[in-house]
Amino acid sequence: MCELMAIAAAIIFTAVFFVRRHSGGDASAERTVALAFWGAALMWAVDCVHAFATEGELLDLSADDAKLGAVVVAAGLMLYAALRIRRRITGRA
Amino acid sequence: MREFETPPRNWQSAGNPVAANPNKRNQTMACFTAPLAQAVAIHVAKPAECQKSRNPFVARLGVLQNMLYGGSLLLAIEHVWHGEITWRYPFLTAIADGDVAGMLGEIATVGVGMAFVVTAAWALYVVAAEALSRAAARQKA
């Protein structure tokens, strides 16, 4: 579930990045967070393949893993908020 | 008649963190350190004005760095969640439990695999972006 939530967050932030860039705004914060989620999703994909090879289970769909996914998405949103605040204060991302 | 020792009830979970904790899928201990080390190495080694480089791979090193740093940060949160990173020295429970060899083996397999997959995805992105920009330049000309 954590892997699926990271992929969903990466797709959403990538879409937000393209919309913001198309409208002419500074989309560097969206770009950074989207790349962070894509990096995490790729890393968890390797972890899933390793889990499948060793335990025979590709995806963990437990409630505990969903909670972890929510915490990870919340951490990504906090990173996004921090980058936006930094951009507003310093004028650069 | 010889009596056989009956195994204890929790013999499957004894010494096995996966069986002891069903929420923990596999023994992920410190796999995020390999991509983090790669991100730090790129941070140190990349040229100051790399975005202006004519080499597309050097010019887009920032993308790889963001993926590695961000992915490592989010994976570190997972490790804190599973109790594999603690706030006390030596910070990794695998070291505190004396399973250094298992941890290094996991970094060498899963961790290096993660770094390789992220780098391969970034290389594909650079090749695709370069091909698209060349096609756009050809259409303009």
- pLDDT by residue (tens digit) across B79-135? 898 888 888 888 888 887 888 888 888 899 999 999 999 999 999 999 999 999 899
- A48-57, A75-84, B12-21, B40-49: range with lowest mean pLDDT: B12-21
* Percent of the residues in chain B that have a pLDDT greater than 70, as a whole number: 80
Structure tokens at B92: 């990794």
Q: What is the pLDDT of residue B15?
A: 43
Cα B41 → chain centroid: 14
- pLDDT by residue (tens digit) across A24-57? 888 889 999 999 999 999 999 998 998 888 888 8
Burial A62-88 (b: 16+ CB within 10 A, else e): eebbeebbebbbebbeebbeebbeeee
Structure tokens at B39: 């991100």
**ipTM for the complex?**
0.89
Integer Cα distance of A32 and A13 in angstroms: 9
Q: Which residues of A lie closer than 8 Å to B, measured between beta carbons?
A: 2, 6, 31-33, 35-47, 50-51, 54-55, 57, 60, 62, 64-65, 68, 71-72, 75-76, 79
Integer Cα distance of B59 and B67 in angstroms: 15
Q: What is the pLDDT of residue A40?
A: 94
Task: Quickly state the pLDDT bin for A19 (edges 50, 70, 90).
Answer: very high
Q: What is the pLDDT of residue B7?
A: 45
Rg of chain B (C-alpha set): 22
Q: Which of B26, B68, B72 sits opposite A51 (nearest CB)?
A: B26
Nearest CA in chain B to A79: B70
Structure tokens at B113: 């695999």
Whether the per-residue pLDDT at B14 is higher than 60: the answer is: no
What is the arithmetic mean of pLDDT over A68-78?
A: 93
DSSP string, B104-133: HHHIIIIIHHHHHHHHHHHHHHHHHHHHHH
Q: What is the pLDDT of residue A82?
A: 94
Q: What is the pLDDT of residue B27?
A: 54
Q: Which of B24, B25, B65, B124 to mutate to test the interface with A (most CBs of A within 10 A)?
A: B25
Contact (CB<8Å) B74/A72: yes
